[in-house]
Structure 1
Amino acid sequence: MEPLHDAHPHGLAADLNTLAQRALARRGVLRWLAAGAALAGPMALIGCGGGGDADVGDSSSDSGDTSGDTGGDTGSCSVIPSETSGPYPADGTNRNSGGTVNALAMTGIVRRDITTSFGDHGDNVAEGVPLTVTLKLVNTASSCANLAGYAVYLWHCDRGGNYSLYSSDAADENYLRGVQISDSNGEVSFTTIFPACYSGRWPHIHFEVYASEAEATSGNNAVKTSQLALPSAACQQVYGVASGYDASVSNFAQVSLSSDNVFSDDSAALQLATVDGSVSAGFTATLTVGVSG
């Protein structure tokens, strides 16, 4: 930074303005450098097989800190890729063995802890390694501003690779499905378990973003449907170590990000979560989700 002089003819107001401009410029450079570093990590994963990467995870894109800045970020962020909701969304768009299935219309779907079934489906618990998933929603059309008041519907398979409401071993359950509303930081958080790796797919979590809770619970007009990828090193810590994930060992050895039919394109870096933790203590997964609001 250039040296500041004690006095000059422009006065205090001009000094403060100059300082503010310099601080913003410096912040932008730092965030640009951070974005490059974050992208480099996930891109290195894309060409690797299921058992071959040592990174626990990298953030998908640099869209600012999540420490409580309710004004959003002045950096740059990218729209997360749109992906298929898959065959088991339970969002009213397809059927299970009993007809059209819509978990979003069920009383109790708005909840943070999604490990248990609820309502008419009882209260059975999906066992597995604890995982807290936090998504930060940002508006790519408005300088990465936080998107408060949006709703996220999140779902994934259990440790046996079963999807509640569909798979024969979990058809009577509705666990591992839930809706949360983003706070002033644009964040939603879910208490869940680490999902399995089932045949043919990289370990992942599905989610849909809605403009409001009312839009979500009516199952209409999702503004974004995408998927979160879990990093290789975290999966290696769980599969073959934690109880109940036995089938995931061979499935994971046969898949890679580059062969996965969802994450195989170059934009997978935007979907790869940052994961920290351990089997004994549980894991946290975080991902910034850019939406063109």
Structure 2
Amino acid sequence: MQQQFERRQALRWFAGAGTAALIAGCSGGSGTSGNSTVSVVTATPTPTPTVTPTPTPTATTTGSCIADPSETAGPYPADGTNTSSGSTSNSLNINGIVRSDIRPSFISTTTVATGVQVVLTLTLVNVNAACAPLAGYAIYLWHCDRLGNYSLYTAPTESYLRGVQVTDANGQVTFTTIYPGCYSGRWPHMHFEVFSSLSSATSGRNALLTSQLAMPTALNATVYADTATYPSSRTNLAQVTLANDNVFSDNTAAQIAQQTPTFAAATTGYTASALIGLAR
């Protein structure tokens, strides 16, 4: 599936939501969203990792951090910033979006997204205050499934792999999810938005920061070697690099380093962590 994006220009249209997630009311990427319904496999494969990534660091309130760069929300945010057929797609206003385990759909089905499990901890810090943790902020995380499809858009009947959590006293949120697939034209990634509070996390237009996480190069090769679970990712990955990706290619080495989570092998899948720097 061809999903090409232009850097930092939010789409104002996409195709085929047609579910209960399309509700009336209430970045810049452009592309064409598909409208075909995908078949979701519910059996959970058990991949065997062949590399051992570096250990997951613990959170710190001091040290080195930089402000994360603003990136496109892309065409599939479901945050109230784009529409289809005259309706606004906004999962942020749907009961159930605040959750830690984002693998199940929560709107019109209960389908669970399958793939390599990832327990991801994000630590939000203030780059203007010696990397002090920011508590009480809301973080919205979303990404594609193992086939490269996005719920509410190219997987229109599903609402999985989207969720919001509020940072604790350590500035941390934790999501249980899966490793995202690699689709044509993009480096494997996850999207996130940061809001000043849960009450403000009702539309992407309120976000203090919209950015993306880049999946690690070595781990991409390991995960996508399981072609039964990720059937098209290895082929798609061979056609893109961080240097030519239309989102990450203009970032500095320091920005890419902070945007790339650190992974460690776990009993089931991986644990991962990443620092998010915000200027407050």
Q: TM-score, normalised by structure 2?
A: 0.76
Moved more, 150-159 or 243-252: 243-252
The offset of 1:244, in angstroms, is 2.5
Alpha carbons 2:123, 2:275 under 8 Å: kept: yes
Aligned residues: CA RMSD: 2.0
Aligned to 1:253: 238
Alignment correspondent of 2:29: none
Q: CA deviation at 1:57?
A: 6.4
Compute the displacement of 1:217 (Å): 3.0
Paired with 2:204 and 2:143, the residues of 1 have a C-alpha distance of 17
Q: Decide whether the 8 Å contact of 1:84 with 1:226 is kept in 2.
A: yes
User: What is the rounded CA distance, in whole Å, between the counterparts of 1:262 and 1:55 in structure 2?
Assistant: 27
Indicate which of 146, 150, 161 corresponds to 1:176.
161
Partner residue in 2 for 1:243:
228
1:97–1:198 CA distance, 2 compared to 1 (3 A): farther
| Distance 1:125-1:98 versus aligned 2 partners, 3 A rule | farther
AA in 1 matched with 2:122: L
Residue type matched to 1:135 in 2?
Answer: L
The AA in structure 2 aligned to 1:93 is T
Given residue 134 of structure 1, which amino acid in structure 2 is its aligned partner? Answer: T
Question: Do the aligned partners of 1:200 and 1:255 also contact (CA within 8 Å) in 2?
Answer: yes
Larger relative helix fraction? 1
Is the aligned partner of 1:92 residue 2:80? Answer: yes
In structure 1, the gaps of 5 or more residues are 1-53
CA positional deviation for 1:275? 1.3
Question: Is the contact made by 2:141 and 2:164 (CA closer than 8 Å) also made in structure 1?
Answer: yes
In the TM superposition, residue 148 of structure 1 has moved relative to its aligned partner by 0.5
Q: Which residue of 2 aligns with 1:129?
A: 116
Distance of 1:95 and 1:272 partners within structure 2: 30
Which ranges of structure 2 fall in alignment gaps of 5 or more residues? 1-50
Displacement of 1:118 in angstroms is 0.6
- Which segments of structure 1 move beyond 6 Å, counting only runs of 4 or more? none
**Residue 232 of structure 1: aligned partner:** 217
Matches within 5 A, 1:91-240: 91-96=79-84, 99-119=87-107, 121-167=108-154, 170-240=155-225
Larger Cα-atom Rg: 1
Aligned counterpart in structure 1 of residue 71 of structure 2, from 83, 96, 102: 83
**Residues 136 and 186, structure 1, Cα contact 8 Å, conserved in 2:** yes
Q: How many residues align?
A: 227
What does residue 276 of structure 2 align with?
A: 289
Q: Identity rate of aligned residues, in percent?
A: 54
TM-superposed CA distance for 1:219, in Å, is 4.5
